[in-house]
């Protein structure tokens, strides 16, 4: 029987459940703490395979935390419609760019999700050279990344730049050893 747990399994050694360590990626860590609660985490459980273990809500843990046991996911991609294991183009993009899913600003997620939906609906032969003709990958403070439309071109995908004031505060942690290919996720 499949189940979703929002707490660490009993009997695990204390070092495995230790508090994640900071990467120091956030500009103002005291204001960018988790506000995404256990019921909200539970609402995203269909986006993951069964038997996934989520770390319980803890408002003192920051989204830039890293750990050999826990992986931080921002909620936004899953609220858009993504499921884990991300689609091929998205996985390849993050691998090629060398950034973590947690470093993607909302606009970047929206663009990739829109392209994935176009690929799914129309099955075009789309590759990264086409993406690089449309956008540049740029950093936006605090080691976060977004796409910037190339100059002198109309905005390729509309309505991707809307403001998401709470996106940094909506994150959750998943045990790496419970998800497929968890060991391959970029933690830095």
Collapsed DSSP state (helix, strand, coil) of residue 139: strand
Residue 103, domain member (yes or no):
yes
Q: Which domain holds residue 67?
A: 30-184
How many distinct structural domains can be found in the chain? 1
pLDDT tens digit sequence for 75-102: 999 999 999 989 988 998 988 888 888 8
Q: What's the rounded Cα separation, in Å, for the pair 112 and 92?
A: 11
Percent of the chain, pLDDT > 90? 14
In a domain, 21, yes or no: no
| Cα–Cα distance measured from residue 61 to residue 41, given in angstroms and rounded to the nearest whole number | 15
Task: For 32-79, write each residue's pLDDT tens digit.
Answer: 788 899 999 999 999 999 889 998 988 888 777 777 888 888 899 999
Closest by CA position to 188, among listed 66, 26, 17: 66
pLDDT class for 139, splitting at 50, 70, 90? confident
The pLDDT assigned to 132 comes to 82
Residue 58 lies in a domain: yes
pTM over 0.75: yes
Is residue 39 in some structural domain?
yes
């Amino acid at each position: 029987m499949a189940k979703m747990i929002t707490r660490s399994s009993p009997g695990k050694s204390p070092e495995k459940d230790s508090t994640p360590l900071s990467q120091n990626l956030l500009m103002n860590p005291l204001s960018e703490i988790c506000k995404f609660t256990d019921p909200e985490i539970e609402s995203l459980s269909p986006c993951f395979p069964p038997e996934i273990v989520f770390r319980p809500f803890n408002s003192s843990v920051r989204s830039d935390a890293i750990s050999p046991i826990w992986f931080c996911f921002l909620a936004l991609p899953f609220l858009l419609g993504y499921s884990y294991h991300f689609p091929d183009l998205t996985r390849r993009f993050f691998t090629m760019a060398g950034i973590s899913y947690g470093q993607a600003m909302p606009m970047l997620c929206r663009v990739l999700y829109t392209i994935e939906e176009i690929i799914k609906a129309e099955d075009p032969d789309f590759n990264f050279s086409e993406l690089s003709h449309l956008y540049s990958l740029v950093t936006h403070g605090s080691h976060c990344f977004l796409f910037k439309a190339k100059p002198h071109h109309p905005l390729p995908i509309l309505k991707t730049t809307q403001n998401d004031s709470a996106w940094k505060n909506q994150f959750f942690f998943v045990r790496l050893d419970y998800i497929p290919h968890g060991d391959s996720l970029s933690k830095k």
